[in-house]
Every structure is written in C-alpha cells, then in structure tokens.
Structure 1
Amino acid sequence: MNPNRHDHNKLSAVSEKVAELLNGGDALVLIPPFYQSQSMPIGAYSLMTIAQRHGYKVDILQVDQLLASVMGLDAYDDISLRPVKPSEGVMAQRLFARSAHNMPIEDPSDDKDSSTKEKTKNNQENQSKADKGFSAREKSYHASPSFTHTEFLTWERLCFDFVEVVAEAIAHYPYRIVGASIIFETQVNASIALINAVKKRMPAVKCIVGGTFAEFGKEDGFLSLAPAIDHVFVGPSESTFLSYLDAVKHGKPLPPPVVPSKTMPFHKIPLPDYDAYMQNTAKVLGQEFCDREVKELWYEPDRGCWWADKVRCTFCAISDEAFRKKDIKQIVEELAQIKRQFPDKRILFAHNILWDSFIDDFLPYTSAGNLPPLGVLIRIQPDLEYIAKLKSAGVFYVLSGIETFSTRLLKRMKKGTTGRANLYFLRNAASFSIGIRWYLIWGFPGDTREEYDYLLELLPKITHLKPPLSMTQMMLMRGSPYVNESERYNIQDLKPWPSYGYAYPAGQIENMANYYEGEFESAALQDEELMSSIFQLVEAWQEHYAEAYLNLVTFAPGYYLIQDRRITNYMEEEQVPVMEEQAIELMSMRRYGHSPTQDWGLTKGYGILMDGWYVPVITAEPALLLELDQSEYRQAKHPLILQETR
C-alpha cells in the first residue's frame, strides 16, 4: 500500500479509460471518490435510465473507481471504508482539500504558531477521548501506521494530479451539464475539486450537485464553497433532473440555485441501468473484479422511514422524506428481471427500514424460485415465525437496529424495541443462519451506569451469537433530533468537529459540517474504566465468535443434548443432557416465574433475566427450534412490543 512504490504512470492511463467510458451527450454524472469501489451508486444509474426513456443521453463516470485503479484497491478501500470518527473523520476530505479550496497540505502539527499548536494538541486529546470504544477492525483502519505523514502527502499529490487529468479528459466532450452525485461526506471535496477543474476548462457547462448528502442546509454551503456550482438539487431529483435537462437543452428559464425536490410517483421510477454499471466497472477495474467483488446489487423497494414518520430515533439523521413503497407485484417482477440478468448476484435493498407486512405479502411469490437472495434493513420483531418467514423468502442478511440490550437506553433512543426482544432476535437469526449486522452504541445524553454495567455479565454468555461490527460512540449528526433539538436533550456548546478545520476553509465549516461535538451529561463518557472493560469483552467476543457455540440437539426421543463452548467455559465443550419439558422451558422466552428449570438455566447462562423475562440464548436447528420454542411472544408478537416501548 506504500504510495512511494506506486507507479504514477498509471495516471496517463486514466485519460485512455475516460475516453473508453464516455460517449458525449446531454449530461455527465460523476461518482466522486471516496464512494465504495464495489458498491453500485443506484441513484445515478436510475437517473440515466429515466433520462434515456425521455430521449436524453446521460453518461456516468465512476471517478471513484478510476482513482481506485490508480491508488490500488487496498489503499483506496482503506480510506473509503474507514468508520467515521472525530480524530480522522476527514481523511478523505483532506486528500482533496488543496484541489477543492487551495488549502495547504502541510501537517497542521508543524504550525510554527504556538497557540495553534496548543489548540491542535487539545483538539486531538479531546477527540481521542471520543474515539474510545471502536472495534479492533476499526482500530486497524485508524492506527497511525496505516498512513505515515509522508505517505499521506504522496497520496494527496496523487489526488491533486488525478483531478487535473480527469478534468482534462472530460473537457474533450461537449456536455451541456456535468454533475456530481454525493452520497457520503467523504465525496464532498473530491466533487468540488472536479467541478472546479471542469468549469475552468468548460466555462459554459452547467455544473450541478445532488444526492442524499446535499440536504439539511448543506445546499447553501455547497454554493458558498464552490462558485463553479450552478445548481444544487435537494431531495429526490428524478423529476427535477428531467426538467433541468429540458431547460438547458432548449434555452428555457433555469430554476433558482437551490432546486427543491419534485416527487416522481415512486412506481414510475424504473430500474437503474445495471448493465451500464457492470460494463463501466469491468472497463475500469476488470471483469475479475466484477465477478469476485461485486457480489450484490442495490434495489430500491421503498423510500423514507415509516418508523420515523411516527417517532424519529434521537440520533437518526435520515432524510425527512415521507415513506413510500412500490406495490409488491412490481417488486417481484423487478427482482425477477434482475435475477434473469444477473443470476449470480444477490440483492441488497437500498432503503431505511422494511415495512412490517412486506414478508407476508412477498412470501407467496417466492415458491417459483426465480427471485434472488435478499439483504434487508428491518425493525426488530420478537417473533420466531417472522424469522422463519425471512429465511423462506430468501433473506440471507439483515441490518438490524439492535444498538444495545438495555430497554431503558433503547427508550432514550426511541428505537421502538426492548432489550429482551433484541437478544431473542439475535438468538433466532443465529438459529436460522441469517447473517446479521449491528452496532453496540454508547455515550448518550442522560444515560446511566446501569444501562451499561449489565453488559459485563451478559457479553461472555452470548459469545456464540453474532457480535457487533463495532462498539461505537453515539455521534451527533446534522439533521438528527439531538442536533435540531439540542436544548430539549440538555446538549450544550454544540459545534462542528474541530477536524473539519483541516477539510474546509474557516468560514465554511458551519455550512458543511455533518458531525458535531457537544457537552452533555453521560455516565458512559464519564466512566472510562467501565467502558474500557466492556470494550475488552467486545474484542474477546469478536475474537472467539467463530469457534463458540451453545446449541441444542436431539439425541433420543424426548431427550436432548446442550453443547456449550463459550468463553464462560474457557472455550472448552461441555455437554449437558435435558428432557423435553426442560428443553421447552430453556428454549422459550417467558415471564420469569422462578421455576427450577429457569433458575438452573440462568445459573448456566442458557438464558438471561431481562426486564422480568427469561430470554433464551441457546440456538437450535430451525425445525427443532420451532418445535420447542413456546415463547409468550409467539402468541402476542409485535403489537406487545410497540405498546411497551412507546
């Protein structure tokens, strides 16, 4: 990954690749670095399809993949996949700060002004406190050996030259419009740098930006940061982009600089041009990369968040767009079409949350076997049948908002679930071999020690269940209730991360900042010893998960065997026989009744006492679990959880 060994002659190949990718037309949409190299930017390719259906020619240039081809995938992914954290959250932005804003590239710590050096030192100390609790994988991304200062400067110079090469290549094509699709904060400075360079060479071209990042007031920030930007599109832009294409082509009056959203009926939004994406990716990164790394494609079944329409999670910063969804028959038809085009690809739903009736509506259409495996985002439901239906519907992966196992803390977040429901869901997903991704979040306004210290006892008992991707401090994000209603949550002295000073000019930071620091009471932030102990347990969980298990199997009619290999047993297997009546009680989530079997299960760590409930953590094969689990929630299901958490 050492850039000093990098062959800068690869920059000369960029012009050739651009020539191979572009054809000229009405508009060019750029996908700036640092978008993830193996992920499809679904919004841009949807605009391409819509424009084509209305007689317009739109090209897409994945500048992100071009830079990855120059830097090398390992180095590029090391930056693009870095988890956001205060001390290094602007690494990607910093690499393009000189191109975008003519900012100096010297190390800020080399500043000769002692007051500046002291301020930088204090900022770094404050940020290091906020960085506590990240996973070992995250640490590896952020450890100083990942990029030395010399390597960083070399990458920065490469990015500076790269922008000029790309812009020069684009200038050979007479596009009327050149735009940048910005999904992540890591793309902002690269977008501005590219637009500035293009506008310099093509003064008459209309330069626009849009995407999910251009909202919550940042639209004005873009216009202030980059006079080369003519228009900023806010919110869904399918209709407004078409109108803009028409106005520019035919000399009609243009909209104001900030273009508000005009909603296109959701069912009329066509599938993105998957073929164009795969062809572009193969041209830049090679067919082998497409086959090996592009394992999933995005599909958009809905927009908005129906839960946020009712109750917005306190730290959530998603768009305010009202929830909309496609008809289930349209979803089935479109998924089947994707399956025919790309039979070896899985589908990830590009959405915020799956609506509760989706699986029941979708399941009858899955028997034909013509639909792809699905990855979805869901709200936790304490319903074993729901998990079984997910599996039957071809769901291989879920991103779930578990966040924690403390019901009190979940209420602070307004998550609409309980700790016991989260743990039960985790057990059930493991039993049905459904992949699950989740984060253990800490450091909330008003939290108490009791909302965390239970983890010291809990975590060693569940090392056989899927661990969190990371233990992550809650971050104050623009657009979230914590930022918009900071006084309500007793958050004071709200201000952007100091590290933004290395990414944006001083007068523009407030306009563009996406993350903030603030002062608020938090037991977790004040108890470093407790959080350090929990963090160590999470690390041990992640380390031993692959070899750990707590499983129930049948070994004779009416008799079962518990196989236990967890940290609590020092990773040595223990086998314990139980009879059917015991197995039923041990495998079922019920109100705690002080029964001898429940008490024994609690002593052995086969179940966890949470909020007055016995929560089982033993896994089993799906058929056996469905047979033995007689949880109360199998009758009450999710209406009970909604009632309890409001």
Structure 2
Amino acid sequence: MSFTEQVLLVVPPVLYPGIPTLGPSILAPACRKLGVSARVHYANLSFAARFGFEACVRIAGSRTLLGEAIFLGMAFPERADRLDRLLDMLKEDAEADAKLRQLVRPPSASDEQVARVVREIPDYIRETAARLVAGRPRIVGFSTMVQQTMASIAIAREVKRLDPTILTVLGGANAAEPIGSALLELTDVFDFVFSGESDVEFPRFCKAYIEDGTRPDKRIIRGRGVPKLDDVPPPDYDDYFDELAPLREHDPIAASAPHFLIFESSRGCWWGDKKTCTFCGYNFPGTNYRAKSPDRVVGELEALIERYQVPKFYASDNIMARDFPESVLDALAHRGTPCALSYEVKSPIRAEDLDRFVLAGIFEIQPGIESFSTDILKGMDKGVSGIDNVRVLRDAGSRGLRVVWNILTAIPGETCADYERMLAMLPLMQHLRPPTRWGPIRISRYSPYHNQPDRFGIRGLRAWAAYYELFGDYADRIALHFFGEYTTEFMDNPELVARLDQAVLDWTNAWSAEGGPPTLSLSRRGGGWMEITDTRAVAKVPNCLLTPDLAALLDSVRQPVSQLRVPPGDREKLDFLVSLGFVLLHEKRYVSLVTEPEIGERLIAQRSRNLAHRTNTALPRIDIGDLRVGTERRRLAFAHTETLRI
C-alpha cells in the first residue's frame, strides 16, 4: 500500500491491533477540513501481520515495558548492548507484578516470540519507514500512548535518514509535558512535539507549513483544548478498515476485528475538576471537563454503526456526564439504537439510572469501585462510601450488567482495621461480580501521589528501574510509572495481606467454578411472600420463603440505611436477616445483598422490543444476545490500557 497524502499520522506498535485508534482518527479529518490531505497509517497492524497477531496481543498486554524495550536497539543504536540486561530485568518485573492479581491476565509473550521480534525489528523499521517516505509526505506525525514511544523514535529516526526534508512530529499521551521537552532533548528525530489536546493547533500547523513553509518559533506546541466538543469532527476509521481488510483471511484475530470501536462523548473529569482521586493520572494538568451535546452523541453513535456495521463501543470518557442518563440514554432507548456500550461512571449510581443503562444498550460499566472501606475511600478522595459501592455491585448484578472494578491496596493512611472489616464482608459478596484486579497501587504521573508526594508521606519518588535503561538520565521526566518509599499498617502485616489475597482468590475461583457463579437472589411470590435462593459457600439456607413482613423489611434496605434510624422492633428482625447473610451490616449501616434477576429480565425484554421497533431503520438489525455478550478479546484488548487506570 502506497500513501500520497501530505500528512501521514502513524499509529506505532506496540498497540492492540484489534481496534482502531481514536486520536489520529479525529485529527486526520480535521486536517482535511482545512484542505490538507491526511490519512492514518496503522503500523501496529503491519507489526501484527509480520509477527503474528497473537504475539502482538501478548506484547501489548504486558504490564512491564516489554513493548518499549524491544525497540531499544533501533531507537538508540548506541545503547543496543543493554537490551539483554533490560529483558532480564523485565522478566523480574513481571514476576513481581504477579502480586497485583487480576481475574483476566493476558498470556505473556514467550522467549521465542520476543527473540524473533527483536531479531527482525531492524527490517521491520526499515520497511515501515520506506513505505512512509515513498509518497513524499510533507509531515509524518506519531500518535503515542502506553508502550509506543520507543517505536516512534525508531521509525522517525529511519524516516529522517531516508528523507531529512520530511517534518516529523510527536503527539499523544506520551508527548505531554514534561515528557515532550525531555524527548526533544534526548533525541533529534522529532522536529516538533504537541503537548495536550491539539485538535485546533495540529491542523493549523499542518496547513501553515504545507502552504507556505511556516514553522512555529517553539518546538513544544501546547494544545489549549477545544472549548466545545461538538466542534471536533467524528472519528473516521476508514483507514483502519482499509489496512485490516487484506489481513483478515490470514489470522483469526484479524478476521473478527474490529472487536469494538472507540467513541468519545466527553473529555476530562467533572469530579476531578473538584477533587482528583489521589491515585488517578488520567488527565493532563489543566484539562477541564467538557461534554458533547446529547443530539451530537446520539447522532454520532448511529452514524458510526451505520457506516461500519459495528455495534460494540468502548467510551474513551474518563467519566460519564451527569446528565447523560436522562439526556442521551433515554434517547438511545427510545430510538432502539442497536449498540452495546462500555462506560466509565461515577459511583454511587442510582438504580433508576442503571435501568436506563440496560435499556440504552450499556452492557459494561467501570464505576470506580476501589474499596469497601469508607475511611480508605476518603483517603483516596473518592466521594463515596464503602456500603454504597456494595449496593452498586448488587444492583448491577440484578440487571446483568458486567462491572469492571478493582480493590486497591497500599493506600497511604490505610489501617489493618479497614481490611479486617472488609474481610468479614467478602465471603458474603461472592454472588456479586468479583474484582478484575486487586493489589497494590501504582504511582502514576500526574496523579496527586506523584505531584504531591510529601502530602501523603511518600519519599524517594523515582521512575521504574526499566525506564533508566530505556531513557537514561531523562527517565524521571519521561516515565509514566514510579516507585515511592512509604509504608502502611496493612503493608507491614504480611499475614493480613495474605488473608485478603486468599479471600479475593476464593471469590474469583467461585465465579469460574464448573456450576457457574454463586447466587443470592429473590423471586417475588403472591401476597408479599419472597423466595430466596442462596448457593454461596456461606449459605445458611439454600432456599427459603420470607414472610411478607420480613420481605418488606428486606426491601426497606435496598438503599443503605443507618442502624440508628431503624426502629428497635425492626432492628431485631434485620439482625436476623444479617445472621442469614441476606443483609450486610457494615460501618453501622444496613443494605440488602440479595439480587433480583427479574428486574434485568424485564429490562432486557423491553430492550428487545425497542430494538424491534427502532426509529432509524437504516441501522442494522442485530440480536440482543449478540449485543450483550462481552467477548474475551475485548477484555484482552484493554488489558494493557486499563493498567494505567490503577
């Protein structure tokens, strides 16, 4: 495939090849809108085609820096002799990282796969650069995130060698300040770096340079962000589909791609504008929350479905807009838009909004559940209580919603008492979806832990050791992840750490058992009676009928209720339900643990009717079962990016 466009935007390896990338797919049409021809080249697809999609998935899913390390010799030839030592170091890091447990862990790349990739990367870089310069583009830009910096340097170096007149630029998450300045000092392969959102600045830069050769005075170009997201063009994924098409018949992962599309309805975090969660490095400094208008979101989703015939979407949003359930989800439900959405949301979530999620086609949520200790959550600045998080898991379970969440430990200020209370809860919750990951936090760039370590008693902040092998003295300015010296009561108690680890392992194992996950569910009978089915390991009675008065009492704690607000006569009955494990008493508040699957069944039936009578008949007819089944490939696709969200 040859390119004739004036601007080429490169998606470098190593990035999961089963989905297109949002950023360059927005910038390319923005350039074209100004009269500059532009396209996106998916070098991660050509990498997967050469080395195998499976190998690419394994390397991209590495929670170490393997995807960066394999390009060291071509990015910095003078340091190629460090590669073997670096790879050995990353093996040790991978073993240490096993302390952070996860329900789904992508398989690691084998020594043979890594050896072959390292051996053939020089040819791959030369072939990729030759393809880029063949059409004599004026500008070659590299979009970077996760593990794409070294590959970008390596390809840009070869592009400059072949044609020094081509302007090379770097952008994306791995180019934001202070990373961008450090990279410009470290290597001369980039002419300019764009730091932050550059929806306006980059297309104008391209137009000015191509029309009259104008270059900015400064090599770091700071994006100011678009005040109105409705002014940003919708993503154009045509280039991805064009480059994927010839690969489909040769690889099963490629054959089923794209496994979902990424769409954007907001940027920033409205909660973070008030109070940033202490471990969160999502947003660059100065990023303010903005959301697209409801009509734009609905129209863009339907246009993408119609154009690409792909109904599954992962929202890039850091957090769902507060008015989104009523303003957007109700419209999607009413129109019967055939979509399956995965969204990040803010816990706690109202039950009626979860109903809207199901009716609109949301099948998966990431509600930011990181603990069930209110004291720990306060220390994280989460703005939610532990028992509210329990209630969200229960209500999501009643509706068949997949929940992606974590239990984070090593939180400055945590105590052993926090975890003793949680340990008493976890066996009672085995019927609710277990955490995707659990274990110690990472200190991420831009997070309060990184920006204000003294505030949390963190000393000796330094980049991961592998960053020093990759970037030398610039590691602390380029790294995304850091170590810090601090301790907590919990971290100093290995017996308690082991007990928590075992409790969560028991929970996740219960969900992978041959007979299926445990249940604690109710079915309503006539006259106010309620039948309870309990298959948890801690079940006292597998099946029982609750009398109308006990059933009414169970319903009265669907929302958490303070122990002090319960009348003495009811408290005794509630304590009886607590003794059966049907009600949780945590931090002096009661909440029902019993799910109600009939709620989800009614909502799914309504969703099916909406799909059958959709208002936009140009959209494809899709079975609701296809929309609600989350694929394993989707889980693997974001395994490497979700690590940045911890």
TM (norm. structure 2) is: 0.85
Deviations 1:340-387 (A, max 9, x none): 224442222211101211111124423121352322110012522121
- Which residue identity is paired with 1:196? R
Q: Secondary structure at the match of 1:531?
A: helix
Distance 1:304 1:222 in 2: 25
- Which residue identity is paired with 1:95? I
In the alignment of these two chains, the number of paired residues is 584
- 8 Å CA contact 1:51–1:58 kept in 2: the answer is yes
Q: Secondary structure at the match of 1:568?
A: coil
* Alignment of 1:307 onto 2:277: no
- 1:191-590 maps to which residues of 2 (within 5 A)? 191-255=152-216, 256-264=218-226, 265-286=228-249, 289=253, 292-317=256-281, 318-320=283-285, 321-366=287-332, 367-370=334-337, 372-504=339-471, 506-545=472-511, 546-569=516-539, 574-587=542-555, 588-589=558-559, 590=561
> Identity over the aligned pairs, expressed in percent?
24
Q: Secondary structure at the match of 2:151?
A: helix
- 8 Å CA contact 2:247–2:254 kept in 1: the answer is no
Deviates more, 1:194-203 or 1:362-371: 362-371
Deviations 1:274-304 (A, max 9, x none): 3333222223445975662423211111111
Q: What is the deviation of 1:623? A: 3.7
Deviates more, 1:92-101 or 1:529-538: 529-538
Distance 2:343 2:39 in 1: 29
Residue aligning to 2:624: none
Distance 2:102 2:315 in 1: 26
Residue aligning to 1:643: none
- 8 Å CA contact 1:477–1:514 kept in 2: the answer is yes
Residue aligning to 2:592: 616
Residue aligning to 2:33: 53
Deviations 1:412-449 (A, max 9, x none): 11011111111100000010111111111111122111
Distance 1:344 1:39 in 2: 11
Change (3 A) 1:563 1:152: same
Q: What is the deviation of 1:574? A: 1.1
Change (3 A) 1:378 1:137: closer
Change (3 A) 1:585 1:625: farther
Distance 1:417 1:435 in 2: 20
Distance 1:474 1:216 in 2: 23
Distance 2:122 2:500 in 1: 42
- 8 Å CA contact 1:300–1:349 kept in 2: the answer is yes
* Alignment of 1:94 onto 2:69: yes
TM (norm. structure 1) is: 0.85
Distance 1:44 1:446 in 2: 41
Structure scoring higher RCO (CA < 8 A, sep ≥ 6) equals: 2
- 8 Å CA contact 2:140–2:169 kept in 1: the answer is yes
Distance 2:346 2:399 in 1: 17
Distance 1:106 1:147 in 2: 20
- Which residue identity is paired with 1:612? K
Q: What is the deviation of 1:127? A: 8.8
Q: What is the deviation of 1:126? A: 9.2
Q: What is the deviation of 1:507? A: 2.0
Q: Secondary structure at the match of 1:401?
A: coil
Change (3 A) 1:195 1:473: same
- 8 Å CA contact 1:133–1:532 kept in 2: the answer is no
Distance 1:619 1:237 in 2: 46
Deviations 1:529-559 (A, max 9, x none): 2122211222221121243111111344422
Q: What is the deviation of 1:216? A: 3.7
Q: Secondary structure at the match of 1:322?
A: coil
Distance 1:273 1:553 in 2: 47
* Alignment of 1:156 onto 2:121: no
- Which residue identity is paired with 2:203? L
Q: Secondary structure at the match of 1:414?
A: coil
Alignment partner of 1:65 out of 26, 33, 45? 45
Deviations 1:581-631 (A, max 9, x none): 31232242322236233212221221221221112111113549999xxxx
Change (3 A) 1:412 1:110: closer
Deviations 1:231-277 (A, max 9, x none): 00011111111111112212343111101114334211111113333
- 8 Å CA contact 2:82–2:469 kept in 1: the answer is no
Distance 2:290 2:417 in 1: 39
- 8 Å CA contact 1:278–1:290 kept in 2: the answer is no
- Which residue identity is paired with 2:275? V
- Which residue identity is paired with 1:181? S
Deviations 1:4-38 (A, max 9, x none): xxxxxxxxxxxxxxx2xx43111111101111211
- Which residue identity is paired with 1:562? I
Distance 2:474 2:531 in 1: 64
Q: Secondary structure at the match of 2:584?
A: strand
Deviations 1:483-527 (A, max 9, x none): 1111111111111111223322x2221221111111113123222
Distance 1:97 1:250 in 2: 36
- Which residue identity is paired with 2:219? P
Change (3 A) 1:293 1:61: same
- 8 Å CA contact 1:335–1:371 kept in 2: the answer is no
Distance 2:538 2:257 in 1: 37
- Which residue identity is paired with 1:541? W
The unaligned stretches of length 5 or more in structure 1 are 1-18, 112-116, 628-646
- 8 Å CA contact 2:261–2:310 kept in 1: the answer is no
- Which residue identity is paired with 1:450? A
- 8 Å CA contact 1:410–1:416 kept in 2: the answer is yes
The unaligned stretches of length 5 or more in structure 2 are 604-646
- Which residue identity is paired with 1:27? V
Change (3 A) 1:454 1:365: same
- Which residue identity is paired with 2:523? V
* Alignment of 1:33 onto 2:13: yes
- Which residue identity is paired with 2:165? A
Q: Secondary structure at the match of 2:288?
A: coil
